[in-house]
Amino acid sequence: MDALLTALADPARWRLVSLLAERPRPVGVLAQLAGARQPQTTKHLQTLERAGVVTSQRTGRRRVYALRPAALHDLAAALTLLADTADQAGGPQATYDRYGLSLRTERLAAQESGWADGRSFRFLRSLAAHPELVWCHLTEASLLARWWTPDDLRVSELVFEARPGGLIVQEYRDAEDVDGSDLVAGRSEGAVEDVRPGEHLAYRLSPLLPGGGLAFTAHVDLGLRPTVTGTDLDVRWRITDSTVESADFVAGIEIGFGQSLDRLAADLVTGSHDNDGTEHDTNTDIRSTK
């Protein structure tokens, strides 16, 4: 496929392919129609032939070239597969486009400090696990690390001290940045405010700007209610202390935290809830204190 793409990338060779799509033609005629010299045309045709795009045969003193449609059909199929993968409903491309729209909206709104103060978000999830187990996933760092990032990201440092006044540190990187060579994708710091095991958890968490300052403060309130099938989780976000530079962070809250909760729900369904002996990325610093 690489040789095919390289061969077709040249405009002169693409012109020859277009001419041969109409009908087979000899080298001399192709050179005339393409407005090129015959030696150059011959070299281009040889490149196309090596890539499997065209074939040729000698007829008397002339060499006649013809298109091999199968190669183009294979390329078309590969391109269609790529396009369909990127264009799947609700897939990563759709999420990227949705975030881009939110990003533009929030950047226009962020004109002065405090612009997003009072903004609130609410997330509801029905989880297939009893409240005690859900609580563990909300407060134990080794379990939090499984879900507490949006898609395509991984936790690189996590501290969660599940007691009033306890420290929270959340840092994450791109999921494919296994050696930590790329920039940190995000870091937040905060503190736990209320702890009622199996019922209620509240904390504040502030994303850090690239320069180290606080983008805003998120006041997060999580309520757990037992149901016949598991637990209803009600999460409420409220923003204070918003800076102009916080627009990019605010734009990602609804999508990013929603994805995190979807990962939590999926993790609870798998049934792999044992916290002992859990394997984690060697580059992840995880600390949990009760």
Q: What is the pLDDT of residues 142-189, one digit of tens each?
A: 999 999 998 889 999 999 999 999 999 999 999 888 888 888 999 999
Question: pLDDT higher for 270 or 230?
Answer: 230
- Indicate the pLDDT class of residue 275, thresholds 50, 70 and 90: very low
pLDDT at 284 over 70: no
Task: Residue 27: count other Cβ atoms within 10 Å of its Cβ.
Answer: 19
Q: How far apart are CA 77 and CA 69, in angstroms?
A: 12
Which residue type sits at 244? V
Q: 194 is written with which tokens?
A: 């209320």
pLDDT in tens, 80-126: 999 998 888 878 888 889 999 999 999 999 999 999 999 999 999 99
pLDDT at 278 over 80: no
Q: Name the phi and psi angles at 68, rounded to 5.
A: -105, 95
Q: How far apart are CA 144 and CA 222, in angstroms?
A: 14
Q: Name the phi and psi angles at 240, rounded to 5.
A: -135, 170
CATH no. for 2-85: 1.10.10.10
Q: 111 is written with which tokens?
A: 């004109």
pLDDT for res 180: 81
Task: Residue 77: count other Cβ atoms within 10 Å of its Cβ.
Answer: 10
Which strands, in side-by-side order, build the sheet including 153-161?
120-127, 231-240, 217-226, 200-207, 186-196, 167-174, 153-161, 285-289
- Indicate the pLDDT class of residue 283, thresholds 50, 70 and 90: low
Question: pLDDT higher for 277 or 198?
Answer: 198
Task: Residue 129: count other Cβ atoms within 10 Å of its Cβ.
Answer: 21
Of the listed ranges 11-20, 56-65, 71-80, 90-99, the one predicted with least confidence: 90-99
Q: How far apart are CA 109 and CA 212, in angstroms?
A: 23
Q: How far apart are CA 235 and CA 223, in angstroms?
A: 6
Structural contact between residues 45 and 54, judged by C-beta atoms closer than 8 angstroms: yes
pLDDT for res 9: 95
Structural contact between residues 150 and 252, judged by C-beta atoms closer than 8 angstroms: yes
- Indicate the pLDDT class of residue 288, thresholds 50, 70 and 90: low
Indicate the domain borders of the chain.
2-85, 113-289
Query: Integer distance in angstroms from the first to the last C-alpha of the chain?
Result: 56
- Kindly list the distances between the CA atom of residue 91 and the CA atoms of 60, 88, 151, 248, in Å, as whole numbers in the listed order: 57, 5, 11, 21
Q: What angle do CA 241, 247, 251 make, to 5 degrees?
A: 115
pLDDT at 248 over 50: yes
Q: How far apart are CA 214 and CA 207, in angstroms?
A: 6
Question: pLDDT higher for 95 or 135?
Answer: 135
Domain 113-289 matching CATH 3.90.1720.10: the answer reads: no
| Mean pLDDT, all residues of the chain | 92
Structural contact between residues 240 and 224, judged by C-beta atoms closer than 8 angstroms: no
Arithmetic mean of pLDDT, 52-60? 93
Q: 260 is written with which tokens?
A: 């995190």
- Indicate the pLDDT class of residue 19, thresholds 50, 70 and 90: very high
